[in-house]
Structure 1
Amino acid sequence: MTRYGPYAETTPRGQTGWLDGARRPLPDHLRLMLGHLDGVGKYTYSIWRATNPDSIIVTRKDAGDTFLQAAGSASAMTLEIRKPGSDGKGRLYTVGRGAATGETTILIPINDERAVRVFADEVFFADEAAAIFTQYCETGTLAEPFVFRELDLSRDHSVAR
């Protein structure tokens, strides 16, 4: 019988632990964590299905092949999901709304030195992102109405800030 998980998190402060809803309802917790992103010192938040749900301790080493992560600030963040591609292998995608927005891009800080350039329809507020993270926890994936732009991991997508 599973006692923990199945999802774990790495908070904006870098702490790793189980998502359990014990302190507050999961949607409220996800909104709180994403609201802590400030684009100055707290840049990222991630959740993943852990491989060891019977252990009281969870670390990033326990991450499976899928995850959802956010980077930036509560007022402008990008979301990335790692999920199986059409060939069944894990691939990394930027999450977007699919709205036709032209070629307008926005720089989202991911740490003190680097930022990523994303399209305007790939920028979310913390409230929007919390709903997406909640959907991911409930279903294990994301589907329509979202679109996914695959990232080529053979090249660096970040730029100097």
Structure 2
Amino acid sequence: MSSSGYAITISDSITADLLDDFRSFREQLRYTLGQLDREAIWLWPLPGGASELLEVPDATLADATEYMQAGGSAEAMIIEYREVVDGVAHQYRVAHSGGDSAPGRDVPFWGNVFTVPPLELFDADEAAAIFDSYRLTRQIPADYTTRELDL
């Protein structure tokens, strides 16, 4: 078993280390994302280079300056990530490359419904690959695009 240096928070209430004790990190991400049902999940690096939550017991998602998040369901979720550049936070929505003009799909989570273009929808399998790439590189895979959100 090894620690990833990342924590997963589910619906802002349950936080745990991302571990590979039962399955690989990517398979664990797929399992967790596959449980989404109108909820949100965040993957965030532990502060100070810690490898597990025990090293930083007071760390919470609220302390995370950078993270990746997904919301919706295992079949249709949106993915966003936040990074800090020169002390300024930027939040981005991840999308497939290309130009699909199909109508948006409603994605409910946390008591809201977001109408999302098809290019910005992911299932748990694809989301797990994107989350794992972020875990390894803190970047989005090159075959996807992003757009900055005005929050």
Bin for the TM-score computed over the shorter chain? 0.7 to 0.9
Instruction: Determine the structure 2 residue equivalent to 1:135.
Output: 133
User: How many residue pairs end up in the alignment?
Assistant: 145
CA distance 1:61–1:12, shift in 2 (3 Å): closer
SS at match of 2:119: helix
Provide structure 2 residue ranges, at least 5 long, that are not aligned to the other structure: none
Greater share of helix: 2
Counterparts of 2:124 and 2:101, CA distance in 1: 23
1:83 and 2:79 aligned: no
Measured on the aligned residues, the alpha-carbon RMSD in Å equals: 2.2
Instruction: Determine the structure 1 residue equivalent to 2:45.
Output: 49
Contact 1:81 / 1:93 at 8 angstroms: preserved in 2? yes
Contact 2:97 / 2:144 at 8 angstroms: preserved in 1? yes
Q: Percent identity?
A: 33
Provide structure 1 residue ranges, at least 5 long, that are not aligned to the other structure: 154-161
TM-score (norm 1): 0.80
SS at match of 2:101: coil
Contact 1:45 / 1:71 at 8 angstroms: preserved in 2? yes
Q: For 2:60, give the aligned amino acid.
A: T
Q: For 1:37, give the aligned amino acid.
A: L
TM-score (norm 2): 0.84
Contact 1:17 / 1:59 at 8 angstroms: preserved in 2? no
Contact 1:74 / 1:125 at 8 angstroms: preserved in 2? yes
Contact 1:77 / 1:108 at 8 angstroms: preserved in 2? yes
Greater share of strand: 2
Q: For 2:98, give the aligned amino acid.
A: A
Instruction: Determine the structure 1 residue equivalent to 2:69.
Output: 69
Instruction: Determine the structure 1 residue equivalent to 2:107.
Output: 108
Counterparts of 1:6 and 1:129, CA distance in 2: 19
Q: For 1:11, give the aligned amino acid.
A: I
Contact 1:108 / 1:115 at 8 angstroms: preserved in 2? yes
Instruction: Determine the structure 1 residue equivalent to 2:33.
Output: 34
